[in-house]
Chain A
């Protein structure tokens, strides 16, 4: 590429516009020049006005598509859901709305299925998010070493994330099967009785968490890996000079430098855990949104789905959706406070 054109193009291209009129022309017809310069003036003013407008408004035009879509598919549904949550609406007649005020919300307070779902969401969220992020950190640390075929391992770490949740969950349902599941078979080899993974409260939540962990660990590991590679090498070098072991380097150099990234993944994982839906839905085989005979792994997302699309109560489902939204806002606020304290103490 370099030097192929042979001639630097920049010098010529600017000359015509900045060219000074030749002396002869100037003297021969001064008035004409004046007229043309006035026109030029106007044109220039217009151009600069347009330029100013352009600088001012073009960015808005460029970001417009996002906001148009956001309004159509983000904001409008959000507001409409809020509006619907104040009404009694049934899916059999979505246009018949009867005003009930905050009734749908107040009844959530005494709705034991809602509290059960909230509790399940929190426990499943905890037992999936915490190990998942810890494992992701460890894996990222390993991937960060100079190792042969690192690209292969990085891609491999991401494959679970690329797998469809439906396909993955079906496989896990078979693995966790009571009578013919591979996990029970393996446990049987060491002398354990068959565990009814789907029906126990803890076992079912553990099984659902396993699917979540399997799916997202690699994804988070890659985020950590990206952040790790941005850590200056000399930090490690000086730590090594001071006699810090690999482990000590990880704890005293890597972790502090990753703090904002860890916080980010915490927030994203929390949002994901709050909205957990596909895994528990499919883990329940044929029964749909009940989350097990005892609702033992019914998450908020499942309960919302059950109210809206099985029981057809759109108003109540909307109220649950908004309650979830508010819960997320609270979690976000707590995270923000924590982050502020952390960055102050750092």
Chain B
């Protein structure tokens, strides 16, 4: 008798645990409708994001919950997009484990639009979505060939150049942001020239720019054509605009104008803290990062000027997976979060620049000044940059191509002193290996 009980327990335990595992992956989707608690028809919406996305930090969830008493919003965040994105793909593939709203990074949006559109709600037809409010190209990036809009844009990354006034003064360069902008207006080669000027009288132990890869990223972001052509063919190898970006960035490295740093590494952060480089190409979302890493010591030393040419780096989207339980409510929330008013608030609080053009005329954007950056009128600087950003052709493997160009090719030139040709060949080899199916 006792043994039978033990057997049963063992069997039940095993089965229960297995079932538990199976159930786990369904949980987020299921719990969405029920776990809200309260018992009076309240709905829990889950939002899956990567990094410090800003929606929560800017208080937008709290505001929405106040406006809609029956809604509870919960956010799950995974620190890095490179961990978040594969998981999102597996969850979309199995149709489980998905949050009601899932964020997507701009470098992944082409792949998502091309391969996962069938698993996402068409937000173009959802309630409360103001399609006209968005920059047309932002909307187009998330629209399939048959006209379904599967994601709504949150921010974009129009760029300026952040620079240190104290280092500029010591090197005999102008420090006023208008004058600095004029120094290189219209041509990335002038940015290189300014670097040469800086180097001639630079304070010891400082470089003009943090990294060659950052320069390359900025220049490719100012070109309409990058890695793919209009027909979706990979053309980065022969594209003159990529070649030009590569050559100029490589020149920064070979002329010794860089701090030989790799972006988003601890050493890069230390560079900010110790003020070892004078400029960095600076999408709107980078301002907060600089403020964090350069700390109180850098206040009023940093400023923002216009980039040589309008350029875009980064930005995100919100999608609503079909497998979610509260698609209608989730779509409503996504529409609200990406509406011009909310994007303006996000910019004011977090510096994420709106992808809704209608937001630019709102005072929260047009009048925005950044106290840390010597009161720079960032609203105007970035609005102007955003208006000038070319409509870029984006492709499914943009992220992989950009990553290998920067972290393999340009890094070899910058940090290992390889020739630009050697660096390029190494990057091409790595990209061929990565894209080859």
Q: Which residues of A contact B (CB under 8 A)?
A: 54, 58, 61-62, 64-65, 68-69, 72, 88, 90-95, 111-113, 170, 173-174, 177-180, 196, 199, 285-288, 290, 293-295, 306, 308-313
Contact = CB atoms under 8 A, between A and B. Distances in A.
A112 B270 CA distance: 35
Nearest to A306: B434
A153 B264 CA distance: 38
A94 B407 contact: no
Interface residues of B, number: 46
Given A286-B263, A288-B82, A293-B408, A94 B90 contact: yes
B13 A65 contact: yes
A65 to B, nearest CB: 5
Interface stretch (B29-37, B151-159, B349-357, B411-419): B411-419
Contacts of B65: none
A64 B14 contact: yes
Contacts of A287: 262, 265, 403, 407, 411
Given A61-B7, A62-B10, A285-B266, A311 B400 contact: yes
A92 B89 contact: yes
Interface of B: 3, 6-7, 10-11, 13-14, 17-18, 21, 82, 86, 89-90, 93-94, 111, 115-116, 262-268, 270-271, 274, 276, 400, 403-404, 407-408, 411-412, 415-416, 426, 429-430, 433-435, 437
A51 to B, nearest CB: 10
28 contacts: A58-B3, A62-B10, A65-B10, A65-B14, A69-B17, A91-B90, A92-B115, A94-B90, A111-B433, A112-B429, A177-B267, A179-B274, A196-B415, A285-B264, A285-B268, A286-B262, A286-B263, A286-B265, A287-B262, A288-B82, A288-B403, A293-B411, A293-B415, A294-B408, A294-B412, A308-B86, A310-B434, A311-B434
Contact of B89 (A91, A295, A311): A91
A293 B13 contact: no
A71 B327 CA distance: 36
Given A293-B408, A310-B82, A178 B18 contact: no
B266 A170 contact: yes
Contacts of A179: 267, 270-271, 274, 276
Contact of B93 (A94, A178, A290): A94
Given A180-B274, A285-B266, A286-B262, A293 B407 contact: yes
A72 B433 CA distance: 33
B264 A312 contact: no
Contacts of B262: 285-287
A177 B266 contact: yes
Contact of B407 (A58, A61, A290, A308): A290
B82 A95 contact: no
Secondary structure of the B contact surface, majority rule:
helix
A93 B426 contact: no
B323 to A, nearest CB: 14
Contacts of B11: 61, 64
Given A62-B10, A294-B416, A294-B426, 18 more contacts: A58-B3, A58-B7, A61-B11, A68-B14, A111-B433, A173-B266, A177-B266, A179-B271, A199-B416, A285-B266, A288-B407, A290-B408, A293-B408, A293-B416, A294-B412, A309-B82, A310-B403, A312-B89
A196 B264 CA distance: 17
Contacts of B116: 92
Nearest to B276: A179
Contacts of B264: 285-286
A140 B267 CA distance: 37
B412 A293 contact: yes
B434 to A, nearest CB: 4
A64 B235 CA distance: 56
Contacts of B263: 286
Contacts of A90: 437
A72 B19 CA distance: 11
Nearest to A112: B429
B433 to A, nearest CB: 6
Contacts of B403: 287-288, 310
A95 B119 CA distance: 14
A88 B7 CA distance: 43
A63 B257 CA distance: 65
A91 B115 CA distance: 10
A95 B90 CA distance: 10
B372 to A, nearest CB: 23
Nearest to B13: A65
Count chain A CB atoms within 10 A of each CB in B13, B115, B116, B426 and give the residue with the most.
B115
Nearest to A173: B266
A62 B6 CA distance: 9
Nearest to B87: A309
